[in-house]
Structure 1
């Protein structure tokens, strides 16, 4: 694991060299294929001084590297305008290093440190390369929501050290801490990060103000930090979680249904995609909280699938934005007249978003529904509604943008370029091909 970390650290000087924009992306692709060759047969193969890599870490680190190289590919506009492009690459690389460490570190305090540290490059992305003046307010929302909930997490981590005299995540499975205050301290920060309904307001705001790269990393990886944290933390809070999990389940399922309805009210494309993320994550929270096998690996699959699908949809929204300079659904109409080939990619990614086969989202959703129904048949009602309306708002977004009479104020236009098609292809291919190796996701 250390070799990959040093690879990324030694890439930093590349960011500050002239005309090295695509070289950085190529280096990340090389890192991606090197990391894919990692042997996962024994955990001892991947242990170093402080880092480890098991199945959960492996998938999420792979996703982080993939999304970061696609972020560079989607931000060619910055390269053309030479808009602080060196600092932009440096920012992405630092963010990738922090995410890599978050997913692979063994020490719980270090996990907290990198978990919070990854906020800073994201904040810089939103404030530095965002579009509207409201981006500062969105950045403040992001910081205060997540930092307010994470201070109790820090207290909880310190308390656990006094109980266990160790911070190693793998040793914690031997403990069972049945304390209600500790439980709320540990869990709340991750639920805000997911985000759960009631504490989700920072997400649509951050997405709307962020540049395409900021939206991609927020949707692709930052929401998964919360899920990863819960998967690790709930191991030693099992007893109390089984007493209190119905609270989170009710809030998540009812909130997911309400947010699905809210998607139909949106007139901003990015806002609609952001709200759909909240809806999908609500089922993931449910899957993690019920603490059975189906819920556990279903939530993991859903996180990987949603990371690729949501990121691809933000790319599509940005492709339209670069041409029309508007994210409004009223202006982004009748795109099939101008970009018929891009219309196919809208269709493919929207179908994945509504969990159509053969996407990973389908597999994740089936497992989560199976798990939640085994917990209580009553959850069927909300799950039915969420699944139905997720198909509804995906169709709504697709038909509104692609069909209808186009906006008369458009005065110049050009079709998609090969870079954009490749970008969308690299989102869609792993999302739909990984279902062929589903045995990897059945975490032992």
Structure 2
């Protein structure tokens, strides 16, 4: 693991001397992804051990997702490069973010995990402040900052209490510890519930997404929401005993909240806002499945997190393609795009269908596992799950049909086919999302 961290660190260092070019960083990031992919074999033991770093199957998928989304995010930020909008500073922010994400997912100590978990927030806020679109980005950045920091401080105190009792914060030595205090149970999961985000703690997400640049939206949807799920999967062993008593509250809020957020999606007129709320709906079923404490739930939540990372990131990129050409994200103006951008319609269809968990996407496999786990927990939840699945299809179809069909806005007078870069980014989102189901066992055996 150290060689990849050193590679990123040296890239950041060379940037201070302006030795590295934009295209070089892009090529090196893809090279790093493939080197990592080849080096790390799928095994249930910890690999790459050293300096409190290590990888198991749970970390492996998340590190791959981080590297892939960050590489595509750089490729998709061509407008920053062409307009020369502080592009070197943007690249440094991106590289720092990848470094923090790698360190977060490969940390074997809980205190390391906490530090890098919080540190990944800094480049995100800078991206929203520096390259966001509207003046409201300051409010959105502060929302993100204070929601996350306020919920994370209790987690730090909880970790220190665990250390005072067990004298270790290594994940592998924490399997024998059981939290039996209700306050500790809330303290340990609150930061991760905000990061997911859980319904009622999700108000920062639509604001941050709408105001962020395309790179910010892609990394937020693709990787940063997964930090919460990854953290919960890591500490689930600690809260298992108390979770049997209190998890029903979180499952109930998540499932009811998921249905309510799906209804909110159907009333959105902003493209980015609709995709952001659909992320909350998807994360609600992930939370519901995870807190049932079943193997199906753990495996399905991990699979759906990976699938959602690729699918949601691709949809945000599509929204940005339209925004760059039309100057608006309003569904009132973005109509009849099948006539304006005929070749992009296929990608709208492919990613919208993946968003509603149509086969053969990885979303389908994740949702089947989660439906199994939640129904086995309580048969009554079938009603909420039916609504959740139905409205998921409804808002995905609403997103597709309202943008591609209808009468074109009279201010549009030409057709635009999209650039080669756009197609490449979208294909590299869609292909892994639909090919990963062929080796679905890899995403289920980590447990």
For the aligned pair, the TM-score class normalised by the smaller chain equals: over 0.9
Task: Report what 1:29 is aligned to.
Answer: 30
Separation in 1, partners of 2:200, 2:361: 29
Task: Report what 2:154 is aligned to.
Answer: 152
Q: What is the CA deviation profile of residues 31-63 of structure 1, one whole-angstrom value per residue up to 9, with x for unaligned ones? A: 000110112336354211210101110000000
Shift of 1:70: 0.5
Residue 195 of structure 1: SS of its match in structure 2?
A: coil
Q: How does 1:185-224 map to 2 (within 5 A)?
A: 185-224=187-226
Separation in 1, partners of 2:433, 2:15: 29
Q: Once structures 1 and 2 are overlaid, which stretch shifts more, 190-199 or 44-53?
A: 44-53
Q: How does 1:243-392 map to 2 (within 5 A)?
A: 243-392=245-394
Task: Report what 1:73 is aligned to.
Answer: 75
Task: Report what 1:9 is aligned to.
Answer: 9
Separation in 1, partners of 2:286, 2:14: 38
The 8 Å contact of residues 263 and 276 in structure 1, kept in 2 or not, is answered as yes
RMSD: 1.1
The 8 Å contact of residues 14 and 24 in structure 1, kept in 2 or not, is answered as no
Separation in 1, partners of 2:372, 2:44: 30
Structure 1: segments with no counterpart, 5+ residues? none
Residue 379 of structure 2: SS of its match in structure 1?
A: coil
Residue 267 of structure 2: SS of its match in structure 1?
A: coil
Separation in 2, partners of 1:152, 1:310: 30
Q: What is the CA deviation profile of residues 220-260 of structure 1, one whole-angstrom value per residue up to 9, with x for unaligned ones? A: 01110000010011111110011000000010000000000
Q: How does 1:70-219 map to 2 (within 5 A)?
A: 70-219=72-221
Matching of residue 410 in structure 1 with residue 412 in structure 2: yes
Separation in 2, partners of 1:11, 1:164: 39
Separation in 2, partners of 1:7, 1:83: 26
Separation in 2, partners of 1:191, 1:127: 24
Shift of 1:287: 1.2
Separation in 2, partners of 1:13, 1:234: 38
The 8 Å contact of residues 42 and 442 in structure 2, kept in 1 or not, is answered as no
Shift of 1:413: 5.0
The 8 Å contact of residues 253 and 282 in structure 1, kept in 2 or not, is answered as yes
Separation in 2, partners of 1:136, 1:232: 33
Residue 55 of structure 2: SS of its match in structure 1?
A: coil
Residue 444 of structure 2: SS of its match in structure 1?
A: coil
Separation in 2, partners of 1:236, 1:123: 31
Separation in 2, partners of 1:348, 1:85: 31
Q: TM-score, normalised by structure 2?
A: 0.98
Separation in 2, partners of 1:44, 1:430: 25
Separation in 1, partners of 2:397, 2:271: 13
| Cα 1:99–1:14 shift into 2, 3 Å | same
Task: Report what 2:399 is aligned to.
Answer: 397
The 8 Å contact of residues 284 and 368 in structure 1, kept in 2 or not, is answered as yes
Runs of 4+ in structure 1 off by over 3 angstroms are 13-16
Separation in 2, partners of 1:176, 1:44: 23
Q: TM-score, normalised by structure 1?
A: 0.98
Separation in 2, partners of 1:414, 1:142: 35
Matching of residue 40 in structure 1 with residue 46 in structure 2: no
Matching of residue 20 in structure 1 with residue 8 in structure 2: no
Q: What is the CA deviation profile of residues 370-417 of structure 1, one whole-angstrom value per residue up to 9, with x for unaligned ones? A: 011111101111111010000000000100000011101124553211
| Cα 1:102–1:45 shift into 2, 3 Å | closer
Structure 2: segments with no counterpart, 5+ residues? none
Separation in 1, partners of 2:316, 2:43: 35
The 8 Å contact of residues 303 and 444 in structure 2, kept in 1 or not, is answered as no
| Cα 1:129–1:18 shift into 2, 3 Å | farther
Q: Once structures 1 and 2 are overlaid, which stretch shifts more, 198-207 or 405-414?
A: 405-414
Separation in 2, partners of 1:8, 1:172: 31
Separation in 1, partners of 2:67, 2:46: 23
